[in-house]
Structure 1
Amino acid sequence: MHLLSTQDMARADRLTIENGVAGAKLMWNAAEAVADTVRKVAGPDRPIRILCGPGNNGGDGYALGAILASEWRDVTIFALGEPAPGSDASWALSKWNCPVGDLSDYRPAHSDLIVDALFGAGLSRPLDGQAAAVVERVNSSGACVVAIDVPSGIGGDDGRIHGAAVRADHTVTFFRGKPGHWLYPGRAHRGELHLKDIGIDDSVLNGIGSRFRLNGPLLWNSEWPKPKEETHKYERGAVAVLSGNRLSTGASRLSARAAARMGAGAVTIIAPKEAASIHAAHLTAIMVHQAEEADEVIERLSDGRERAVVAGPGYGVGAPLCDMVLGLLALDRRTCGHRTTVLDADVLTSFRDEPDVLFAAIRNSDHRVVLTPHDGEFARLFPDLSSNDRPKTVRVADAADRSGAVVLLKGADTVIAEPKGRIAINPNGTPLLATAGSGDVLAGMIAGLCAQSMPVFEACCAAAWCHAEAGSSFGPGLIADDLPEQLPDVLRRLHQREGDKE
C-alpha cells in the first residue's frame, strides 16, 4: 500500500543502518534479491551482462555479479566510472574478482540477459554521452533486460524520462515501490515489477510518514459501506444529480445510474421541465424532480435528504452553474448535514476565470468537496500547476491543498490527493476508459460511496479502482453506458475476495 519517494527510501535505509544493519549487508541482500529474478529469467545457460554505474545502483550490480559468478555462470560487467573510495559500492566491487569492461565497449546481443545497474531512482539529470548511447543500443537489441530499482533514466519520484531511458522487461525494487514505478511513462518502461524484502523492517515506515499510497482494496476496504439489516433507502444513502437542459441529459443519467449501482439507496435527478420529461421516459429506479431555477434547486437540496450531490456533467458552462454551485456550498451543516459535493466537468470549466472564488467557497463550506478534472480541466483551474516540470503527484497534492478539496486527476495513471494528506496512484487504469461519458460515471460512483458515509479520500480511491476494473471487465467495444452495468460483477468479485480472506 505504501509507496516511498527517493528521499523516503533513503531515510528507510538510514534508519535501518542506525538500527544495526550495515549498508553493505543491505546491498548484498539487494543483490541476492535480484539474483533470484535473474536466475528465473536467464535459465542455466544464458549469458548475463551487467551494466554498472558509479553509485549504489552499480554497487548492487557488482554484488550481483559476484553472486552469479560463484555459481559458474557466464557473467561480464561493463562499467561507467568507478565507485567512490570507501563507499558500499566500492566494497561490492572488491567482491567481483574479474575484469571490468568499459561501458562504451559493450555491444548487446539478442541472446544476452542484460542487468541494468547504471542509475537508480534518485537520478536528477538527463542521461547523455556513453550512458545515453548504451541505453539506445540496449533498447534496440531485443535482449531481455532486468533493471535494478528503476530502469536507468526514469525518475523514481515522477516516472519521467531523463534524456533517455532503458525499456526493461523486469524491474526489481526493494522494500516498497516508488511513485515512478506507477506514473507514466515510467510505468511503461519498467516491465514486470518485482518487490523484494532486503531486511528493512516494516516498523521504519512509522518514522518516515510517507504520503504516497498505491491504490487498491487494501487501502479502503475497511471503510467500505456495509448496510445494516434494519436499514432503509435514505439511511443507506441518497444522491442528487443536477441535470442540464433537454439536449444534454445523458451525462447526468450516467452519473445517477453509477451512484445507484455503487449502493446508494435513493438517487434523484434534479432537472428543468423539458429535461425532466426526457429523464422520466428513460429511468425507472432513478427518481426525477423538476426544478427550473437555481433557487428552486437549492431549496430542494436544503433539507439535507441527500448526503451527496453531483454537479457538472452535461449541465452547461456559464455563470448560472457557478451561482448554483456557490449556493449549494453555502448551505450549512444544520440544513444539509455532512454532505459531499462532487464537482465535475462543466463546473470546472465554468470557474476557469475565477478559480479562487470556487476555492474560497469550498474552504468556507461545511461540505466535503471532490474535484474530478481531466488534464484540460485541471489546467483551467490550476494553470500554474499544469506544467510537467514537477511530479504529477506533487501537482495534484498542491491543487488539493490550494482548493481545500480532494482532487482526483483522471488519466491512465489517475492520482488522488487529499489536502495536507495522502496521495494515491491508481494502478489498474485501462485505455478502454478513454470514451465520452466515462468521467460522468466515475463522478456518480464517488457520490454513491460518499452518500453511504464512506470517507471522501477512500471513496475516491475505491471508485477509481472499481471504475477501471469495470472497464477492463467489459473489454473492447466499451462505451460509458456499459460501465454501470459492469459494477455488480466488480463488487461481487471484490466482496468474494474479502470473504475468502475471512
Structure 2
Amino acid sequence: MTRPLCELLLTPEDMAAVDQAAAESGISSFGLMEKAGHAVAAAALRHFPEALRFVVLCGPGNNGGDGYVAARALWESGAAVSVFSLGKPQALKGDAARAFASCPIPGQDIAAYAPLSGDVVVDAIFGAGLARPVPEEVARLIGRVYKANVPVVAVDLPSGLDGLSGRILGAAFTAAYTVTFMTRKPGHLLMPGRELCGTLEVFDIGIPARIVQAHAKGQVAENTPAQWQASVPASLIETHKYKRGHLVVFSGSATATGAARMSAMAGLRAGAGLVTIASSQEAMGVNANLLTAVMLRQIETEKDLNAWLEDKRLTTFVLGPGFGIGKKARKFALALTNRHLVLDADGITSFREDPAQLFDAFAEGATRLVLTPHEGEFARLFPDIAVNYSLSKVQKAQAAAKRAHAAIVYKGADSVIAAPDGRALINTNAPSWLATAGSGDVLAGIIGGLLAQGMPTFEAAAAGVWLHGKAGQSAGKGLTAEDLVAHVRPL
C-alpha cells in the first residue's frame, strides 16, 4: 500500500529527482515555480496581514526564483514589497531567470538590507539542498534580522539549514513559518532544524503523487502510529497474564533501586501481563517494601539467572537502569542472547571497552536486542560513527543498527529509531520537559512491556518512544519520572 504524501520524507537529493522527473513528464517546471511562489505569498499575507513591508531575499538558484514569483504576487496584491538579491540576478538561468524577468520590483544587493520595524522577511536565499556553510555576507544578514526580531517566512527551509540533517551550516534564519512543497525533508524534523522552521506548511504544487512516490525510498518517515499500528497485539477477551508476556527488569544495589521500579511499573502500564524485578540479596528488602503489583525474585549470580531462564515464559528483559557498570552487567546481558533484551544506561556503558562482544552475541537470527543510548552512550558503543560529521543523526542510527543487529533508539529531542534493515523513524511528539532524571528508565520499561506482548523489536521500540512522548504530553510541564509512569497507557 502506498503512503499518502503527507507521511513521506524525501531527502533533498530525492526531491531534486522528483522535480526533474516532473519536467521530463511534460509538466511545466516554471508552472511549478509559479505555484510555489504564489503559495509562499499567500502564506505571508495570511499570517502577517499587518506587515508594513514584505522584504523578499532571493538567492542565486531556483529557491530565489520562488522568491521573485512571491514578490510579484505580493506586489500584485497591493502590499509594499522590497527585493534584495544575493549575487547578480542577471546571471540567473532557466526558470529562475524567467521569474526574475517577470518581477516588476527593482532589486538591491542583499548586503544593503537594513531591517525596519514592521518588516516581514521572505527568505528565498537557499533551499533544502544547501550543503556548505552560508557565505559570510548571508551570515551577517541573518544576524541583523535576528537582532531586529523581524519575523521570517522561509521558502522550503530556513537558509543555512541542511535539509538532510537539520544542522546549521554556519548560520541560519529562525523562521516563524516555513513553506515547503509536496513533502517534508528530514531536516524539517531533525533538531535544530525542526525548531528553526517554526510552523511548517506543506503545499501540493501539482506534481503527481505517482512521481513523488516513485522517488521515495520509504525507509525514513516520521514516527506515528501508522508506522507500527498493525503490529500491536490484538486485545482478546479470552486471554491470561502469560499471553500478555512476562517482563523482567534487573534492579541495582540497595541504594539504586528506584530506576528499576520505575521501569518495571512502566512496562506493566504499557500492557505486560506480568512484571518481575530481579534483585540482588542486598536490595531485596528495599524492593519488597516498595512493590505491590510488580513481583520480586532474588537473582544474585549468573548461575541463578541461568537456572531461572529454564522457564521459557520469561521472554523479555530490561537491563541497565540503576544496575551499575561492570562485569556483572556484561555477564547478565550475554546470558540473555536468546531472549528479547532492552539494554539501557549502565548496561550500554558496561560494553564500552568491547562493543563487538555484545553485537556478536546477538548477531544471528531475528533482531532481539534494543539499545537506547543518549548522545554520550552512543559514542561509547559506536565511537567512529558518532564522530562522522558527514552523517545525519538518521544515518548514524541506521549504521549503528546494522552493525549491532539491533533496534537503536538514538535518544534526544529528535529521537531516531532504526532497524538493521535500514528502516528509520524520527520522533516528534516528545515535549521538552521529558528531559528529566528517570525519563529514560521509563522509556526502557515501556519498550520492554511492548516486546513482552509480542511486538516485533523495531516496532516495539518505535511505539515505545511514541507512547513515552504521549505520556509526557499528558503529564505536563514540571513532571518527574514518577509522574510520567502514572500517565503511561497501553496501546
Alignment of 1:440-451 (within 5 A): 440-451=441-452
Matched, 1:180 2:187: yes
Aligned length: 482
Q: Using the TM superposition, give the Cα deviation of residue 7 of structure 1 relative to its aligned residue in structure 2, in angstroms.
A: 1.0
Q: Distance in 2 between matches of 1:63 and 1:57?
A: 10
Q: Which residue of 2 aligns with 1:216?
A: 224
Alignment partner of 1:4 out of 4, 10, 21:
10
Q: Using the TM superposition, give the Cα deviation of residue 225 of structure 1 relative to its aligned residue in structure 2, in angstroms.
A: 2.8
Q: Distance in 2 between matches of 1:444 and 1:95?
A: 60
Alignment of 1:63-78 (within 5 A): 63-78=69-84
Q: Using the TM superposition, give the Cα deviation of residue 186 of structure 1 relative to its aligned residue in structure 2, in angstroms.
A: 1.6
Equivalent position SS for 1:107: coil
Alignment of 1:379-394 (within 5 A): 379-387=379-387, 389=389, 390-394=391-395
In angstroms, what is the RMSD of aligned CA positions?
Answer: 1.8
What residue ranges of structure 2 are gaps of 5+ in the alignment? 1-6
The answer (yes or no) to whether the contact 1:11–1:208 under 8 Å persists in 2 is no
Q: Distance in 2 between matches of 1:18 and 1:128?
A: 33
The answer (yes or no) to whether the contact 1:16–1:200 under 8 Å persists in 2 is yes
The farther-off stretch of 442-451 and 303-312 is: 303-312
Q: Distance in 2 between matches of 1:112 and 1:51?
A: 12
Of all paired residues, the percent bearing the same amino acid is 45
1:395–1:222 Cα change, 3 Å: same
Q: Distance in 1 between matches of 2:366 and 2:134?
A: 49
Alignment of 1:345-364 (within 5 A): 345-364=345-364
Q: Distance in 2 between matches of 1:76 and 1:128?
A: 22
Q: Which residue of 1 aligns with 2:165?
A: 158
Paired AA for residue 353 in structure 2: D
Equivalent position SS for 2:276: strand
Paired AA for residue 33 in structure 1: A
The answer (yes or no) to whether the contact 1:341–1:367 under 8 Å persists in 2 is no
Deviations 1:248-282 (A, max 9, x none): 21111111100010111111112222323322221
Q: Distance in 2 between matches of 1:78 and 1:421?
A: 43
TM-score between both structures, scaled by the size of structure 1: 0.92
What residue ranges of structure 1 are gaps of 5+ in the alignment? 332-338, 496-502
Q: Which residue of 2 aligns with 1:265?
A: 273
Deviations 1:322-355 (A, max 9, x none): 12211211x3xxxxxxx42111111111100001
Deviations 1:100-147 (A, max 9, x none): 211111111120111000011111111123212211111112221100
Equivalent position SS for 2:488: helix
Q: Distance in 2 between matches of 1:307 and 1:29?
A: 55
Paired AA for residue 364 in structure 2: N
The farther-off stretch of 303-312 and 140-149 is: 303-312
Alignment of 1:15-30 (within 5 A): 15-30=21-36
Q: Which residue of 2 aligns with 1:320?
A: 328
Q: Using the TM superposition, give the Cα deviation of residue 409 of structure 1 relative to its aligned residue in structure 2, in angstroms.
A: 1.1
Q: Distance in 1 between matches of 2:314 and 2:55?
A: 62
The answer (yes or no) to whether the contact 1:426–1:464 under 8 Å persists in 2 is yes
Q: Using the TM superposition, give the Cα deviation of residue 318 of structure 1 relative to its aligned residue in structure 2, in angstroms.
A: 0.8
The answer (yes or no) to whether the contact 2:9–2:216 under 8 Å persists in 1 is no
Paired AA for residue 380 in structure 2: R
Matched, 1:104 2:106: no
1:45–1:242 Cα change, 3 Å: closer
Paired AA for residue 13 in structure 1: D
Alignment of 1:408-427 (within 5 A): 408-427=409-428
Equivalent position SS for 1:146: strand
Q: Distance in 1 between matches of 2:265 and 2:18?
A: 45
Q: Distance in 2 between matches of 1:86 and 1:234?
A: 67
The answer (yes or no) to whether the contact 1:12–1:208 under 8 Å persists in 2 is no
Q: Distance in 1 between matches of 2:41 and 2:367?
A: 53
Matched, 1:134 2:135: no
The answer (yes or no) to whether the contact 2:51–2:119 under 8 Å persists in 1 is no
Q: Which residue of 2 aligns with 1:404?
A: 405
- List structure 1 runs of 4+ shifted beyond 3 angstroms: 83-86
Matched, 1:235 2:243: yes
The answer (yes or no) to whether the contact 2:367–2:457 under 8 Å persists in 1 is no
Q: Using the TM superposition, give the Cα deviation of residue 385 of structure 1 relative to its aligned residue in structure 2, in angstroms.
A: 1.6
